[in-house]
Amino acid sequence: MKIKQMFEKGTVFSFEIFPPKKTSSIDTIYNTLEQLRDLKPDFISVTFGAGGSSNNNTTCEIAQTIKEKYGIESAAHLPCINYTKEEIVKILGEFKKHGISNILALRGDINPDIPPKSDFKYASDLIAFIKQHGDFDIAGACYPEGHMETDNLVTDVLNLKKKIEAGAEHLISQLFFDNSYFYSFLERTQIAGIDVPIEAGIMPVTNKGQIERMVSMCGASLPSKFSKMIQKYEHSPEALRDAGIAYAIDQIVDLVSNGVDGIHLYTMNNPYVAKRISEAVESIIRS
């Protein structure tokens, strides 16, 4: 099923997972999926590997298993900065062979160990290329606080519009911890004439190290109440985990109450956290 069709039925609720590290068995992710499937997300997206690393075969295998074994629609992430057009064509062929019809098209992270290729400079270039090479449902990424490499928010939303014009049919946002940034972002997209469904990306923070990594990677702002929560519970792992879950639930309730198109939960491969959040918001999202 094409993910874009899901938005016609109501609020979409989806998960993101990532393949295990090369030093870990792939069985670890299947153990995670066994627990996630009972939560019945609309779809699960599978990353291509952190930091620009290549993980094509594993991504394909996991995405195919999600769809065929667990009966849940899947989406494969596809970064482009480290690939030539010929390599992307091969990857798209693998996607087709594995029955993957939904793609999250990304520029990808800069990997200092891998010199970028010159075929694709922006995600919009990849989106246009995918449109020419198969009948895929294409999602794009968006950044409520602006992309870290963009000078200003006006330029950021104009760059986002290029993704839509290239063929992106819905969007998934980067994580944020202050919903007001997301609402302001939606206003900018409306002014720019961007009229596609936008899922809000929610990251439940369950340990201090996690927040430090996320802020350095994506530049998300930390509102005062969030910072106070971290400071109060940073030396109590269980309390911080529970507070982080509660904070994410509060964000989701507010977003759904304000008519958000969907919620994309960054699970960090943690089924316990995903389960607690899903059970808390299921009736709200499905009502």
Angle at CA of residue 175, ends 171 and 177, nearest 5°: 130
Q: Find where tokens 């064509």 sit.
A: 89
User: Exactly one of 8, 16, 61, 212 is catalytic; which is it?
Assistant: 16
Hey, what amino acid is at 48?
F
Q: Is 238 a catalytic residue?
A: no
For 250, phi and psi rounded to 5 degrees?
Answer: -60, -40
Q: Angle, nearest 10°, between helix axes 237-257 and 179-191?
A: 30
For 28, phi and psi rounded to 5 degrees?
Answer: -65, -40
Residue among 129, 123, 126, 130 at smallest CA distance from 101: 130
CA distance 78 to 88: 9
Q: What beta strand segments (E) does the chain contain?
A: 12-17, 43-46, 73-79, 102-106, 137-142, 170-175, 198-202, 262-266
CA distance 107 to 90: 17
Listing DSSP states for 129-141 in one string gives HHHTSS--EEEEE
Catalytic positions = 16
